[in-house]
Amino acid sequence: MDQHSSDIVDYYTRRYREDQRLTGRPQARLEWIRTLELLRDLLPEPGARVLDVGGGTGAYARALVSAGHEVRLVDLVPGHVAHARAGQPSIEAQVADARALPYADGAFDAALLLGPLYHLVRRADRLRALREAVRVTRPGGRVVAAVISRFAGALDFAATGRLDERTLAEARALLSDGTNDPRIGFTHAYFHRVEEIIDECQAAGLTEVVVHGVEGPAWTAAEAAIGGPAEETVFGGALDLARVYSSESALVASSAHLLAIGRVPAR
């Protein structure tokens, strides 16, 4: 395991509770609702074999199992795998690296990478992970990959009153270099432009690539409204706009997360 990978495992083991991430702030609630809606529309009918790569503690995997899918989960963090196995319904899970999946070619109807790509700061590593997802997905199946938008951090800092000279300087730096500075927050990560994730998916062999904005253009308004009298009204409006503008090219990058979907061609 390389040093970046070790640091990521340490971050999620000692410093961050992934199992609590999707139930807190408005951005996370929007991410949860919209990701599930998009997966419902994009995945095959219930009963499909789905591989959840970097599936964390199993939140999405459990929802898919409840919807009738057959799900396998892999994650780099041993604690996440243990949590996924221990929850209800229990998920079949194992520790593995997204860049070297322990499955045969074409073993799944669809593969999800909802976490690994933004933790792989080198393009070559992201392509390895995408190509592995393509390899284990049957021809005609779909690969669904999440990344963090290049602009998410600065928009978040501004919406929550945390934009200062240091974070503004980071925003300027990210315009030309998508690599996150762990000293400002989060851990080792890469933040994408829309055209980058499209290019990486195509370079990995995927066709018919489409990118959706997950939280929509008004997620920052929902964050800014926390604690105010219109908090839930603003959240509802943000959710409505996330649905309306999901694949509107002029607004996709304003979401905190981008969801790229591509099809595995015939071999």
Provide the pLDDT for residue 110: 98
Q: Which of 144, 260, 135 is nearest to 205 (CA)?
A: 135
> Using a CB cutoff of 8 Å and minimum separation of 24, what contacts does 70-73 make?
72/103, 72/108
| pLDDT tens for each residue of 123-169 | 999 999 999 999 999 999 999 999 999 999 999 999 999 999 999 99
Confidence of residue 1 (pLDDT cuts 50, 70, 90): confident
Structural domains of the chain, with CATH: 3-263 (3.40.50.150)
Provide the pLDDT for residue 228: 96
Q: Which pTM value belongs to this model?
A: 0.94
Provide the pLDDT for residue 3: 77
Angle of helix 152-159 versus helix 165-174 axis, rounded to 10: 160
Provide the pLDDT for residue 178: 93
Distance in angstroms (rounded) separating the CA atoms of residues 119 and 215: 20
pLDDT of residue 187 exceeding 90, the answer is no
Confidence of residue 5 (pLDDT cuts 50, 70, 90): confident
- CB burial class (10 A; 0-12, 13-18, 19+) of residue 181? middle
Q: Which of 116, 132, 112 is nearest to 43 (CA)?
A: 112
Provide the pLDDT for residue 9: 84
Which is more confident, 1 or 151?
151
Average confidence (pLDDT) over 19-37: 92
Spell out the SS3 assignment of the chain.
CCHHHHHHHHHHHHHCCHHHHHHCCHHHHHHHHHHHHHHHHHCCCCCCEEEEECCCCCHHHHHHHHCCCEEEEEECCHHHHHHHHHCCCCCEEEECCCCCCCCCCCCEEEEEECCCHHHCCCHHHHHHHHHHHHHHEEEEEEEEEEEEECCHHHHHHHHCCCCCHHHHHHHHHHCCCCECCCCCCCCCCEEECHHHHHHHHHHCCCEEEEEEECCCCCHHHHHHCCCCCCHHHHHHHHHHHHHHCCCCCCCHHHCCEEEEEEECCCC
Q: Which of 77, 80, 78 is nearest to 60 (CA)?
A: 80
**Taking all residues of the chain, what is their mean pLDDT, rounded to a whole number?**
94
